Amino acid sequence: MMSAAIDAFLAMLAAERGAAANTLAAYRRDLEGAGEVAGDLERAGKADLSCLTRAWADLAPSTVARKISALRQFYGFCMDEGWRGDDPSAVLVRPQARRPLPKILSHAEVERFLTQAEEEAAGDKPNAVRMLALLELLYGSGLRATELVSLPITAVPRDAPFLSITGKGGQQRMVPVSRRAKEALGRWVAVRSAPGSPHLFPSRTGYISRIRLYQLVKELALRAGLDPAKVSPHVLRHAFATHLLEGGADLRVLQTLLGHADIATTQIYTHVDSARLVALVNERHPLAAARAGG
């Protein structure tokens, strides 16, 4: 039965690739949805699958690409198991989906942002010191918002300048902590008043939420004279990655630091850097200046 084949495929993803529960649920939705249109996937041929193109006509290219990827992996598994000798999903043409370039902040904007946080933390008020520590880790270590707010107090480095992070899918990685971030963390731990909490950034109900972090970052951006629409925890993570790449960081190293499972995800930053270089040429090249002077 189709459901048995899908169950076996998902079990393989969980056991051999360590796929997270959300990932497995997404695969199941895509495969079962395709089966509702094309029939029993285990026995479907190219003619059966070709009708999916019409069924998916109104979906975003990225969504269609994800569904096709799920089918190709499923049929690859079926062939490995000897359940069939061909892959009918070859009839489906993957759309060319361009990922939007992430928003980025310039070095000057980041410096302005951090300077505002440092000035506010000068009096050692706990909330201001906490904000400085949060920012130093967002920009200095490239953490995801969820990874940051859920850090345990035991994650604070003592001798080794690294944090042990549990990222997407429960994957573990080590990220470096800059001298600035380590100093900010030390200041925060000294004024943090939650002796019974296991969380580095505690709240009354556990740890501060991603939404609260988002609000705090927006509020600080406003006080720093920056457009709040341009700034978020994720934008600071992008700035970390982009500025490292501009400085000559290796893409594979960047992939490890960011916790990306696929190097293709990290490669978006090469496009960001290219876009910056094109803008620089258009604005600063002597011929551009001569043309503008006309």
pLDDT at 248 over 80: no
Tell me if residue 43 is catalytic: no
Tell me if residue 144 is catalytic: yes
Q: What residue has token string 């600071």?
A: 236
Catalytic residue among 66, 173, 234, 276: 234
Name 152's bridge partners: 199
Catalytic residue among 130, 237, 238, 243: 237
Question: Rounded to an integer, what distance in angstroms lies between the CA atom of residue 31 and that of residue 64?
Answer: 12
Bigger pLDDT: 284 vs 51: 51
Q: What is the pLDDT of residues 26-76, one digit of tens each?
A: 999 999 999 899 888 888 889 889 899 889 988 888 888 889 989 999 999
Give me the architecture of the 2-91 domain, per CATH.
Orthogonal Bundle (1.10)
Average pLDDT over residues 107-136: 92
User: Tokens standing for 17?
Assistant: 């690739």
Mean pLDDT score of the chain: 81
232, 217 contact by CB (below 8 A): yes
Q: Which stretch, 57-66, 185-194, 282-291, has highest mean pLDDT?
A: 185-194
Per DSSP (E only), the strands in the chain are 162-166, 172-176, 202-203, 206-207
Bigger pLDDT: 97 vs 143: 143
| AA identity, residue 281 | V
| AA identity, residue 233 | P
Catalytic residue among 103, 168, 199, 218: 168
Percentage of residues in the chain having pLDDT higher than 90: 26
Bigger pLDDT: 265 vs 206: 206
User: Is 107-229 CATH 1.10.443.10?
Assistant: yes
H or E element that contains 116: helix 107-121
User: Using 50, 70 and 90 to split pLDDT, how confident is the model at 249?
Assistant: low
User: How is residue 156 annotated by DSSP?
Assistant: S
pLDDT at 229 over 60: yes
Q: What is the pLDDT of residues 146-171, one digit of tens each?
A: 888 988 888 877 766 777 777 666 67
134, 208 contact by CB (below 8 A): no
Question: Rounded to an integer, what distance in angstroms lies between the CA atom of residue 71 and that of residue 5?
Answer: 12
Average pLDDT over residues 174-197: 86
Domain ranges of the chain: 2-91, 107-229
Catalytic residue among 144, 182, 187, 238: 144
166, 147 contact by CB (below 8 A): yes
User: Using 50, 70 and 90 to split pLDDT, how confident is the model at 288?
Assistant: low
Tell me if residue 271 is catalytic: no
Tell me if residue 199 is catalytic: no
